Amino acid sequence: MLLIKNIKKLVQVEENPCRWIAGKNMAQLNCIDNAFLLVDDGKIVDFGKSKDLNIKTVDVDKITVVDAVERMVFPSFCDSHTHLVYAGSREIEYIDKIRGLSYAEIAKRGGGILNSAKLLHNTDEDELLEQSLKRINEIASYGTGAVEIKSGYGLSTEDEIKMLKVIKRLQKMTSLTIKSTFLGAHAVPQQYIGKREKYIDLIINEMIPQIADEKLADFIDVFCDKGFFTVEETKKILIAGAKYGLQAKIHANELAASGGIQIGVECGALSVDHLECTGDDEINCLLGSKTMPTLLPGAAFFLGMNYPPARKMIEAGLPVALASDYNPGSSPSGDMKFILSLACIKLKMLPEEAINATTINSAYAMNLSETHGNIARGKTANIFITKPVPTCEFLPYAYTTKLVDTVILNGEIIKFTVD
Ligand code: NIG
Ligand code: FE
């Protein structure tokens, strides 16, 4: 049993279970000042005002006590969209970008996703695991407690399965909660250019059945955008995935108003992600649906592209989730605290809205809102203690200061080794 006492502010406590927070409610953050938090068997069992802590009810000898000495406790970030299993890095393209080439132009020249596919093909599973584990430990130290990871740099049955097996091994090796997404339709591989329907057949008839059979993925994703996969192709792939129980989470409307949002909603996607090119039609389509609009401001920041209209979405009554998109091409960072800052500075979200978007709403976007995303009795004890901070708003404000002090996952204090 773990007791955290003298908490200056216990942030985002939930009394009544909710799946997500939408519209104007996103600006509300339930907090308790001068609080305690009690954890047992990896779960949050109780919390409240320090003065209401009745320590006699528990066996004092069996408790590890952490004195927060006036620091705050937050629920861990939930990062519902990453590609953090990848080989090597792509800083050469970064230079091309600085010189003025666009993301689409780099992709057309065989750079981009296809470049990562080549690097991944030439990296064995153990090496890929080692590289990815470093990124997992890095994001855990930044306060992330649950993460979704996609395949999509394999683009052949063998290499897609290699990626998904690495994700499975990561699940067993780390304390973070990990969800896995099959993204075979990330790009058409070189050898299928000019016969893309053959690649789609391969995804549908070979990859999906095998991946489902080996239980290697929770979700299915398609990069539904201009120059990648069309709405019709996306629908075909999502229907095939649904037959095998893979719920959709798709990349949509990053490069153009591609119809991706509409097809995502039609196919019952859990989330539609990116959404830089979103207008009224798309917002109306999302209203009343169960699909979480997920924004990835790290990608727009890194690529120097337009940001999605977060304010418009929230003011229309939608929920919004935020994720890092950690990947080698468009967002080589999994720092969710920086995502909070970008959301405030670039998307004009209030700190409270951004905190809700990186926790409970992003937990929903990976089907984890029953167990993660806020401080609630019975939920997984994935939390972090901050360094001394004056307010919660200080987190996004101090945008490069390391403010996560102690990370607790499944009720255990995590010790990080520096390499
Ligand atoms: O989410 N948009 C598609 N996929 C990734 C980028 C992948 C890459 O460039 O390697 C993204 O931004
Ligand atoms: Fe992505």
Exposure string of 137-169, with b = 16+ CB inside 10 Å and e = fewer, is bbbbbbbbbbbbbbbbbbbbeebbbbbbbbbbb
Domain-embedded: residue 351: yes
248 Cα–ligand 2 center, Å: 14
My answer on whether 105 and 124 are in the same domain is yes
52 Cα–ligand 2 center, Å: 45
For 377, the token pair is: 């009795």
Pocket test for ligand 1, best of 79, 330, 331, 339 (most atoms within 8 A of CB): 330
Helix (H, G, I), strand (E, B) or coil at 19: coil
328 Cα–ligand 1 center, Å: 8
Whether the CB-CB separation of 225 and 253 falls below 8 Å is answered with yes
DSSP character for 269?
-
Final residue before a domain boundary, out of 327, 346, 364: 364
Atom of ligand 1 nearest to the CA of 254: 2
What is the spatial order of strands in the sheet that 247-252 belongs to? 77-82, 144-150, 177-185, 219-224, 247-252, 271-274, 292-295, 321-322
Residues 6+ apart with CB under 8 A from 49: 32, 33, 34, 35, 36
Domain-embedded: residue 350: yes
Whether the CB-CB separation of 88 and 371 falls below 8 Å is answered with no
CA 268 – CA 246 distance, rounded (Å): 11
Final residue before a domain boundary, out of 342, 364, 386: 364
My answer on whether 67 and 85 are in the same domain is no
My answer on whether 323 and 222 are in the same domain is yes
My answer on whether 256 and 215 are in the same domain is yes
My answer on whether 51 and 167 are in the same domain is no
Atom of ligand 1 nearest to the CA of 273: 1
Q: Residue 258 region, left (φ>0) first, then alpha (ψ -120 to 50), else beta?
A: alpha
Residue nearest to ligand 1 atom 1, measured at CA: 325
78 Cα–ligand 2 center, Å: 15
Q: Which domain holds residue 48?
A: 2-75+374-414
My answer on whether 283 and 398 are in the same domain is no
Atom of ligand 1 nearest to the CA of 274: 1
My answer on whether 21 and 151 are in the same domain is no
Residues 6+ apart with CB under 8 A from 121: 154, 156, 159
How many independent structural domains does the chain possess?
2
Domain-embedded: residue 369: no
Atom of ligand 1 nearest to the CA of 328: 10
Pocket test for ligand 1, best of 86, 113, 119, 271 (most atoms within 8 A of CB): 113
**Closest ligand, as measured to the CA of 332:** 1
Domain-embedded: residue 419: no
279 Cα–ligand 2 center, Å: 20
My answer on whether 70 and 95 are in the same domain is no
My answer on whether 176 and 201 are in the same domain is yes
The gap between the terminal CA atoms of the chain, to the nearest Å, is: 31
My answer on whether 118 and 17 are in the same domain is no
My answer on whether 124 and 39 are in the same domain is no
**Closest ligand, as measured to the CA of 113:** 1
Atom of ligand 1 nearest to the CA of 116: 10
My answer on whether 258 and 398 are in the same domain is no
Helix (H) or strand (E) holding 117, with range, is helix 112-121
Tell me, yes or no, if the pTM score tops 0.95: yes
In a structure prediction context, what are the per-residue pLDDT tens digits for the chain, which is 419 residues long? Answer: 999 999 999 999 998 889 999 999 999 999 999 999 999 999 999 999 999 998 665 567 789 999 998 799 999 999 999 999 999 999 989 999 999 998 788 877 778 999 999 999 999 999 999 999 999 999 999 999 999 999 999 999 999 999 999 999 999 999 999 999 999 999 999 899 999 999 999 999 999 999 999 999 999 999 999 989 999 999 999 999 999 999 999 999 999 998 999 999 999 999 999 999 999 999 999 999 999 999 999 999 998 989 999 999 999 999 999 999 999 999 999 999 999 999 999 999 999 999 999 999 999 999 999 999 999 999 999 999 999 999 999 999 999 999 999 999 999 999 987 65
Residue nearest to ligand 1 atom 8, measured at CA: 329
Whether the CB-CB separation of 326 and 79 falls below 8 Å is answered with yes
Instruction: List ligand 1's pocket residues with C-beta within 6 A.
Output: 83, 112-113, 116, 223, 251, 254, 299, 325, 327-330
The CATH number assigned to the domain holding 289 equals: 3.20.20.140
